[in-house]
Structure 1
Amino acid sequence: MPELQSTQPEHEQPHIVELVLQAKKALQQGQELCLHASAVSAASAQTAVDVLALDAQVRWMSEAVLDQLKLAAQVAKSIEQKRSELERQAEEWDHIRNQRTDALDAVLESLGTQSVPPEFHTVSADTSPFGSQNNSDDEQEERRPQDDTTPFGPPQPSTSPRMSPTDTIRNRSPALRRQQRRDQRRADRSKWKTLRDFVNERAIEDLLDTIEKERLELDDTLETTSDYPESLLKTIGAIKEMVPVEVPLPSFSDILSSQETTSIKMAEELESLVHHYHNMSNALHDFEAGEEFHEEDMQGMSQDAGALPVIISELESSMNTIEGFHEKLLTAKTAAQEHLEVHRRTLTDLDELGEIMTDLLEQQQNVEYESIEQLSYLHEHLRPLEELHHKYTSYKYAYSKLILELARRTQYREAAQRIVANMTAQLDAMAEEERLLRADFQAEHGQYIPEDFCLYVENPPNRWTVSTWNDEPLETLPVIENDLIEEAKQRTAGMEAAISTSQSL
């Protein structure tokens, strides 16, 4: 407000009426300033209450938002733990599969090192992919049984497809020829087939391909939720960054205390203005009543009037101070309202996050069910691998047993043939002795016996042969070399434990 000052020259004192008007105007200005300051003070008090209420709401909502974010973080952690458990089970299955496949590979590699003599396998016209194969006479003879120990000469011609043990013993030359051809083939064992050649590896590859395909399907299933925890945590972090940072509130006690002190000061200054106005009003009444004022009195009143602008300036300064306090409170209120508005938007984001988490949990649950089902199928596929391992381990063991069994049968056949050979030699000797006895009898007495007596007395003795029961074909057995027999003995000795372990698996 403009300062109040006298317009009279220094040598001329202002009129008392003018002084009264100045006092009255100053009082009105002071009252207006005090009334405005009082209103601002009251508004400041209400603003302080509003700020406290808003701050309480902001704090409560901040805690609620942070609590919700903690729950969301726990949901993300739960999803990650479930995924980790499923991945752990998948890795455990991978470990078991590697064990099974390594064991199966080891058995197959072992089968590939075990040679099979050509006599152990034949190709017929029905099963050969090359159609009918005409065997030569030598090859047909090769499949016939022979005995290298036969001590007899050239074989007897025979049109019968069957051979008796005595025929086998006597037919030495064809056996020698067959043995020579067999020895030539055995000389190069690198051309022999192995036990692995009789394994259906295509079926094994198909099984492994099926297992690998389903394993990749499990990876695809797990991959659908691989980014869920990270995505959820990023969303949580973004919402957390939106939570307003706590702003230090002004000291309400200091503001209100300073405001009260300023108000008291303004009241005192207003009271001085009132007192000055009353004095000037009384002086005007006295002047109007005919009282004359001395020069000193007028100078005193003029000096009091000159102090009025200073008082008004102090009142204005005090009012500005109170308004400054009010502005601080309004700033705090605005900040609290902005924080509250941010929280409202955050709550909306939390609602959306809740819907997202519900969808994620449902999808994770579906993935978990599907993964467990796929893992169950994968574990079922491990059983055929175990069965194949046991089958081929038993196959290897049975082949060694087959070698030993054929060797035992060969020993049996050779023993039987020796008995037949001895018996045949004895019968031949007896027949020769009988022939000589009959010849001596005929030479000594035949000339005296009538020709029509006992015509059969001149018959030679019967020659005897020993044959198989009911003329069955002689059993055909392959010739197994001694090193193969010894190898089979060593293999069977070390495979008993492996068979037991495979069966326990």
Structure 2
Amino acid sequence: MSPSPDQQEQPHIVELVLQAKKALQQGQELCLHASSVSAASAQITVDVLALDAQVKWMSEAVLDQLQLAAQVAKSIEQKRSELEKQVEEWDNIRNQRTDALDAVLESLGTQSVPPDFYTVSADSSPFSSQNNSDDEQEGERLAQDDSTPFGPPPSTSPRMSPTDTIRTRSPALRRQQRRERRRADRSRWKTLRDFVNERAIEDLLDTIEKDRLELDDILATTSDYPESLSKTIGAIKEMVPAEISLPSFNEIFASEEATSTKMAEELESLAHHYNNMSNALHDFEEGEEFGEEDMQGMNQDAEALPVIISELESSMKTIEGFHEQLLTAKTAAQEHLEVHRRTLTDLDELGDIMTEMLERQQSVENESMDHLSYLHAQLRPLEELHHQYTSYQYAYNKLVLELARRRQYREAAQRIVATMTAQLDAMTEEERLLRAEFQAEHGQYIPEEICLYVENPPNRWTVSTWNDEPLETLPVIENDLMEEAKQRTVGVEAAISTSQSL
């Protein structure tokens, strides 16, 4: 016995209703999940915008701090440049003064001093000094030289008579001969530089150089500050992340809204299909019969349910994709924010370091300026030595001319001594005043070793010398030496007078 058509349709309608109900439940779950994800996306968007605002604020703070650090580095470098410029100016002044002093010393080394200026003969000394001159000492050394295996070589001079021997043994004659030999051999003469204490000059220059090196040591303590700060600033700049690339929120929200609207429409179609199937089941239970066409329509609607569910799932994935984009943006913003926080911490530490650098640089600057002032004071002795040796050379040349004038004076006095006693007394008084003036003007610059007799008063004359005193000892000054002295005093007198008056 086969079942009736009504009995066959009832299970099928129930199955269709269950399918519609299940599809509606799945659609509701998908839509609820999509709504929850959309709400979470909205909150994430707010978080991303807030994080982005913090990142931008911190980025500006980092850039401001880096700019300030760069200004500090530039300030330190400028201060060091100013100090180095002042040190360079001091070096130039030192070079100028040492060159000027070297030039004076070189000039002193080119001017020879006759031996009569720095040797005193026994007959010119009131105590008849027995100290031998350089030539006498050299002669004694040669006489005592027994380095040859057979003693001193025999004399090759011809045999002399007894009277010649006595005449040759005369001390005065030997001294006169030695003086003549010395005058003839100028290569053995001393120069003005031989009377200069060059050891003291070298000690002074060594002291100045030592103090100059101490200044370099002071400046070196902060020499790496600008470069160190620049490297640190560069390293921090490299740590600063690039600007966050945020997704287009308007596009995301517009797409999400369109997707949500589509899902709502699809959910509404599922609900409508479920209501239709529920009503059909109710009508079927009430005894209504469905034709083949009605059943075919119900089956077609049931077959469309998986497609709708698939579209809802696809829309759900789209909304979840938007959610993932926002989560990625939030994660990136959080990472940027954390990097900025670490950077600001590093900048705080750099600020403390820069404060110490500025304090140290100021200390170095103060110490350098004090040391530089001391170095400038150290240059004054060089200037004084230059003035002293310039005046010394000028005074010596004036001394040569003075002694030549004195010799002329003595010769003139000898010519008129017989008939001009009164006139000679007046000349003697005038001479005394001239010598006093010379001594007052130049005596302080002439070393004590040169011309000990320069302070001697002039001879007083009667018919012969006063109280028969011996004639004044004056060196023989050759014409070329007098001409050299004249040339060296031309154009120098005004400068020396001005310098001596300071």
In structure 1, what residue type is equivalent to 2:113? V
- 1:124–1:50 distance in 2 versus 1, CA, 3 Å: farther
> Matched residues in 1 for 2:96 and 2:346: separation?
50
Q: Which residue does 1:72 correspond to in 2?
A: 69
Distance apart, 1:381 and its partner CA:
1.1
- 1:502–1:329 distance in 2 versus 1, CA, 3 Å: farther
- 1:107–1:286 distance in 2 versus 1, CA, 3 Å: same
Is the contact made by 1:389 and 1:502 (CA closer than 8 Å) also made in structure 2?
Answer: no
Q: Which residue does 2:144 correspond to in 1?
A: none
Q: Which residue does 1:416 correspond to in 2?
A: 413
- 1:242–1:133 distance in 2 versus 1, CA, 3 Å: farther
Distance apart, 1:288 and its partner CA:
1.4
What are the ranges of 5 or more consecutive residues in structure 1 without an aligned counterpart?
1-10, 126-131, 140-172, 425-464
Q: Which residue does 2:197 correspond to in 1?
A: 200
> How far does the alpha carbon of each residue in 1:99-149 deviate from its partner, in whole angstroms, 9 at most, with x for none?
101110000000000000111113799xxxxxx96449x99xxxxxxxxxx
Aligned with 2:232 (options 232, 235, 247):
235
Q: Which residue does 1:210 correspond to in 2?
A: 207
Q: Which residue does 1:39 correspond to in 2?
A: 36
> How far does the alpha carbon of each residue in 1:40-88 deviate from its partner, in whole angstroms, 9 at most, with x for none?
1111111111111100110110011001100000000000000011111
Aligned with 2:481 (options 481, 484, 488):
484
> Matched residues in 2 for 1:266 and 1:421: separation?
153
Distance apart, 1:417 and its partner CA:
2.3
Is the contact made by 2:44 and 2:327 (CA closer than 8 Å) also made in structure 1?
Answer: yes
In structure 1, what residue type is equivalent to 2:299? S
In structure 1, what residue type is equivalent to 2:193? R
> Matched residues in 2 for 1:176 and 1:489: separation?
33
- 1:102–1:500 distance in 2 versus 1, CA, 3 Å: farther
SS at match of 1:110: helix
User: What is the TM-score normalised by the length of structure 2?
Assistant: 0.78
> Matched residues in 1 for 2:220 and 2:242: separation?
37
What are the ranges of 5 or more consecutive residues in structure 2 without an aligned counterpart?
1-7, 123-128, 137-169, 422-461
Does residue 119 (structure 1) correspond to residue 116 (structure 2)? The answer is yes
Q: Which residue does 1:451 correspond to in 2?
A: none
In structure 2, what residue type is equivalent to 1:94? D
> How far does the alpha carbon of each residue in 1:462-487 deviate from its partner, in whole angstroms, 9 at most, with x for none?
xxx94443555542221211221121
> Where do 1:143-158 residues align within 5 Å?
none
Distance apart, 1:205 and its partner CA:
0.4
Distance apart, 1:499 and its partner CA:
2.8
Does residue 397 (structure 1) correspond to residue 388 (structure 2)? The answer is no
Q: Which residue does 1:388 correspond to in 2?
A: 385
Q: Which residue does 2:372 correspond to in 1?
A: 375
Give the greater-gyration-radius structure (CA): 1
Aligned with 2:22 (options 18, 25, 30):
25
SS at match of 2:490: helix
SS at match of 2:229: helix
Is the contact made by 2:31 and 2:264 (CA closer than 8 Å) also made in structure 1?
Answer: yes
Tell me how large the CA RMSD over aligned residues is: 2.6
In structure 1, what residue type is equivalent to 2:44? T
Is the contact made by 1:13 and 1:302 (CA closer than 8 Å) also made in structure 2?
Answer: no
SS at match of 1:35: helix
Please say which of residues 475-484 and 100-109 is displaced more in the overlay.
475-484
Does residue 313 (structure 1) correspond to residue 310 (structure 2)? The answer is yes
Aligned with 1:341 (options 335, 338, 342):
338
User: What is the TM-score normalised by the length of structure 1?
Assistant: 0.78
Is the contact made by 2:105 and 2:193 (CA closer than 8 Å) also made in structure 1?
Answer: yes
- 1:116–1:45 distance in 2 versus 1, CA, 3 Å: same
Please say which of residues 192-201 and 490-499 is displaced more in the overlay.
490-499
SS at match of 1:15: helix
> Where do 1:244-255 residues align within 5 Å?
244-255=241-252
> Matched residues in 2 for 1:205 and 1:249: separation?
75
> Matched residues in 2 for 1:218 and 1:66: separation?
37
Distance apart, 1:494 and its partner CA:
3.5
SS at match of 1:478: coil
